[in-house]
Every structure is written in structure tokens, then in C-alpha cells.
Amino acid sequence: MMAAVRRFLALRNKFTSSTNGLSLYFTSRQSWRERAVMVGTELCITVGGFAVVYYQHYASLRALISPLPTVAAKEKASASAEDEEVSMSAHEHRFRLFSSLEYDGQLYMTPLDFIESVTMSEPKKKRFWRSLKKQDLDKILSDAPPVWKGSSRLFRNLRERGVISYTEYLFLLCILTKPHAGFKIAFKMFDADGNEMVDKREFMVLEEIFRKKNEKKKERGGDPDSYSQLSVELYGHQGSVSSNVLKKEQPQFEPRSFWDVLRHGARIVLFSDLMEHEPENVTDTTLLVHFFGRKGKSELNFDDFYRFMDNLQTEVLEIEFLSYSKGMTTISEEDFARILLRYTTVENITGYLENVRQSIPDEKGITFEEFRTFFQFLNNLEDFTIAMQLYNYANRPIGQDEFARAVYVATGLKLTRHLVNTVFKIFDVDHDDQLSYKEFIGIMKDRLHRGSWGYKGEERFTSFKACMKKELTAK
């Protein structure tokens, strides 16, 4: 603004100096009316100049406070966090940061975008939202394989030939941190009618749950237009789909136990609360086509659901492992330490790496099976924490044998002696050959939630139900 004022004053001074020779003539000859007109004209010029300056300032200010790109643009740059005035969760911000596709105003990730979002701290390059037409989307969806053809290379094979919505992104993040024992709970959450099968309408209730949670953000204040735009980007234009589930013909309910009665009642309360709008057409995604077919008529059984979740966990771990193995069958103990610490709040990572170098001078390496087993153990960290706390209550840090035994009792997983020794060498910072709660579990809780950068100081996603509850209550 000040630069514009200076330009205006410079022009005015130039105009004044060019007319100094005539000023005496006008002063001596003009009547008081002419002088009044002269003064009025100059005043108008001054006011007009300031109006231009104010408009420029206002326009620049509007540009700063408009964080969301125009929907009609063919290629749109993703807004950075510094430009955002809309209050977003860490997940919302990260989804917008890594997403690269837009259809009908809604943003989507490709499978490659998703892989990068959970294995990298930031995108490899600046993201642009590529606008898709109906024929583009149809072509992408035609590449989605049926669920029985799924593998631990699904996302790598599809790469950019797939679309993932924001609610599916949250669902996939929950999968990555779930123990295998929790897969059944996850499946039952979608199985509204209890027939051991999940159809498309039941699965889509997940989207309605997250949408309703998002509507609560409007109560926090802020620009309603900005929130509406953000809602379209993350959830799209379509209305409620939950009433579609309720309209499905329900089988006769025959309770077999008290828990059956409780579960059935909870379903009625949940889905009744969600039925507010008429169902509308939902934009298909790669995940919906993968699970339920191109026409949406197929149903998902637990075996296929379990295999999908297990394959996703394996695929992400394979990508991380291969990024360090350089074609070998093992990664070094030091690289294993880097992977464990890369998404934590540990400040002095160098100190931990130095522990490994000094304690394990002869490199043996960590195999992928050891690597995968350890991360399966991390997904059971809640159960293991209970076992660890029993020792801590007696002020008793544990040794390697006790650690391995606690892991097996809590999770059913057997860690090799070399893997346990490596973990101790990484986290035993006081070199007492013992492992305390603070030295290990506190750090690993950060590493476990790879998709939740930005959340600090709270325990996250301890179960699939807790994962859902977290998203429903988060600001």
C-alpha cells in the first residue's frame, strides 16, 4: 500500500512542478470560482488516487485470505499451509498437500499419492490438482481389479491409475496401525445387518459419519464460505447415503445373548441418527470398484477384507524396506534404527544411531520377515504396554529375555534374538542393558502413527473403534 502512495505522490509532485510557471498567471487572473474549481479538481484527483490505492490493497488482501483454488480451473496449485485461513486437522492438511486429482470440485489421491503420504514427510514435488472429466474417471475406474485379484503390490501396480477419496484415506490410515486381531472388529463395524457380508451401501456409511463430523466445524466460527469450499474438496457434493442402508431389507433379529441385544440396539441408535437426507448418487472410487465391482452389486466377505488389510500393511512395509535394502535381502541395523526413528519427535537421532554403530560393530542385517514381524508387534503396542507397565509399577526395567517373553504373551509374535538385541542397542540410551517405558514405548507411539504428523502429546488410534472415535471428535 505504501509503495502505491509513494507512486501517487511522485506523480502529483511532477504535475505540480510542471505547472509552477503558470501558477502566478492563474493566481492573478482567475476569479474565486475558478480557483475553487481548481482546488476541487485537485482534491478529486487526490481522493481518486487513494481510492485506487485502497482497492489495490483490498484486492491483495483478498488474494491472501482466499486459500482455496477456483473449481473451474483446469490445473490448480495446492495451497500451502502458510496460506490457509481455514482451521484444518493434520489429516485434512496432509490429504490436500499430497492429493493430485480433482473431479466435480472434490479432491482425490492416486494410489501413488497415498503411498508417498505415508512414507514421506512431504511430496517429492509441488502438487497440482489435475481436473478430471467423466470419461477420464471412467477410464481410471476400469483399471481397478476385483478384490479377489488383490495383492501386496496393488497400489504400486495402479500408481496414478486410481482415485482415493478423503474418507477412504482416513480408513486406509486406520488399517495401517491395526493389529490382525482387530481386523474382525473393523469388518463388523461395517456389517450393519450382521450377515457376515458388507455391501456398498453399508460401507458408504463411513463417509456419512465423517461428513457429519465435518459439519460440526462450522460451529467453531470462521468464514462459512471457506468451510463450505473445504467440505466440497474433501467430501464432495453428494448428500447422505446412510438412509440407503436403512432402506435395505433387514433380516429378522433373533438375539442369542445379551451382547447381541446391546449390539443391535447400538446399530439402531447409530444409523437412525444418520438418516437425515435423501440418498443421492455417489461418485465411485477405485476402492469402491475394487470391493463391490463396477456396478456396485458385489458383496465383501471377511476373508477378502482381511486379505486387503494385510496386503496394504505389507505393501507399505515392503516399500520402506526396499528403499533401504538397495536390492539386498537385508537392511543394516543402522538403517533399521533410522526407519524406526524417522517419524518420531526424537531430536537427537544421531545419538541413537551412534549407539548402534558402537554396540553392533559387525553388521548382520535385518531380514524383511524380522522387519515385518516387528511392525506387526508395534500394531499391538497397546497390549504390550500393559505388560510393560506391570514391570514399571515395581520400578523394574526389563532385560532382553523378559522383553521377548512379554511380546509373545501380549501379541503371540516371536521376535528373533538378533532383532531383540538390535532394539535394545538402539533404545538403551543409558547403556544398562535394560529397557524402560520411557526409552521405548514413548518413542514408538510416535512412530506408530505415521499418518498423523501434527498431533502432539496424546495417545492415538489404540483400536479401530478408537481410530473412528478420534476422527469423530477431533477439531
412 lies in which domain range? 328-473
Kindly list the distances between the CA atom of residue 392 and the CA atoms of 155, 319, 371, 388, 398, in Å, as whole numbers in the listed order: 42, 36, 27, 6, 9
What's the distance, CA 194 to chain centroid? 30
Asked if residue 323 belongs to a domain, the reply is no
Q: What local confidence, expressed as pLDDT, does residue 112 receive?
A: 95
Asked if residue 389 belongs to a domain, the reply is yes
Q: Average of pLDDT values for 308-329?
A: 93
Please tell me whether residues 45 and 100 are part of one structural domain: no
- Count of the separate structural domains present in the chain: 3
Question: Which sign, positive or negative, has the C-alpha torsion 103, 109, 112, 113?
Answer: positive
Q: What local confidence, expressed as pLDDT, does residue 335 receive?
A: 94
Asked if residue 322 belongs to a domain, the reply is no
Please tell me whether residues 264 and 337 are part of one structural domain: no
Identify the residue with better confidence: 453 or 415.
415
Kindly list the distances between the CA atom of residue 52 and the CA atoms of 3, 42, 49, in Å, as whole numbers in the listed order: 12, 15, 5
User: pLDDT class for 55, splitting at 50, 70, 90?
Assistant: very low
For 367, phi and psi rounded to 5 degrees? -80, 165
Please tell me whether residues 437 and 398 are part of one structural domain: yes
Specify the range with the lowest mean pLDDT, choosing from 7-11, 165-169, 374-378, 394-398.
Answer: 7-11
This prediction has a pTM of: 0.67
Asked if residue 176 belongs to a domain, the reply is yes
Q: Which distant-in-sequence residues (6+ apart) come within 8 Å of 111 by Cβ?
A: 154, 155, 156, 158, 159, 160, 161, 162, 164, 286
Q: What local confidence, expressed as pLDDT, does residue 219 receive?
A: 53
State which amino acid sits at residue 249. E
Q: Which distant-in-sequence residues (6+ apart) come within 8 Å of 165 by Cβ?
A: 106, 108, 207, 236, 283, 285, 287
For 385, phi and psi rounded to 5 degrees? -60, -40
Q: Which of 32-36, 39-43, 402-406 has the highest mean pLDDT?
A: 402-406
Specify the range with the lowest mean pLDDT, choosing from 83-92, 170-179, 211-220, 373-382.
Answer: 211-220
User: pLDDT class for 32, splitting at 50, 70, 90?
Assistant: very low
Q: Which distant-in-sequence residues (6+ apart) come within 8 Å of 368 by Cβ?
A: 317, 318, 321, 325, 329
Please tell me whether residues 284 and 153 are part of one structural domain: yes
Integer Cα distance of 453 and 343 in angstroms:
8
Please tell me whether residues 370 and 298 are part of one structural domain: no
User: Contact 313/450 with Cβ under 8 angstroms?
Assistant: no
Asked if residue 319 belongs to a domain, the reply is no
User: Does 217 score more than 60 pLDDT?
Assistant: no
Asked if residue 70 belongs to a domain, the reply is no
Please tell me whether residues 295 and 386 are part of one structural domain: no
User: Contact 270/147 with Cβ under 8 angstroms?
Assistant: no
Please tell me whether residues 58 and 181 are part of one structural domain: no
User: Does 28 score more than 50 pLDDT?
Assistant: no
Please tell me whether residues 31 and 147 are part of one structural domain: no
Q: Which distant-in-sequence residues (6+ apart) come within 8 Å of 168 by Cβ?
A: 285, 287
DSSP H/E element including 203: helix 200-203
Q: What local confidence, expressed as pLDDT, does residue 22 receive?
A: 40
Q: What local confidence, expressed as pLDDT, does residue 61 receive?
A: 36
User: Contact 451/91 with Cβ under 8 angstroms?
Assistant: yes
Picking from 13, 45, 64, the residue at the C-terminal end of a domain is: 64
What's the distance, CA 249 to chain centroid? 35
Please tell me whether residues 13 and 95 are part of one structural domain: no
Q: What local confidence, expressed as pLDDT, does residue 67 receive?
A: 38
User: Contact 230/68 with Cβ under 8 angstroms?
Assistant: yes
Please tell me whether residues 48 and 159 are part of one structural domain: no
Please tell me whether residues 52 and 80 are part of one structural domain: no
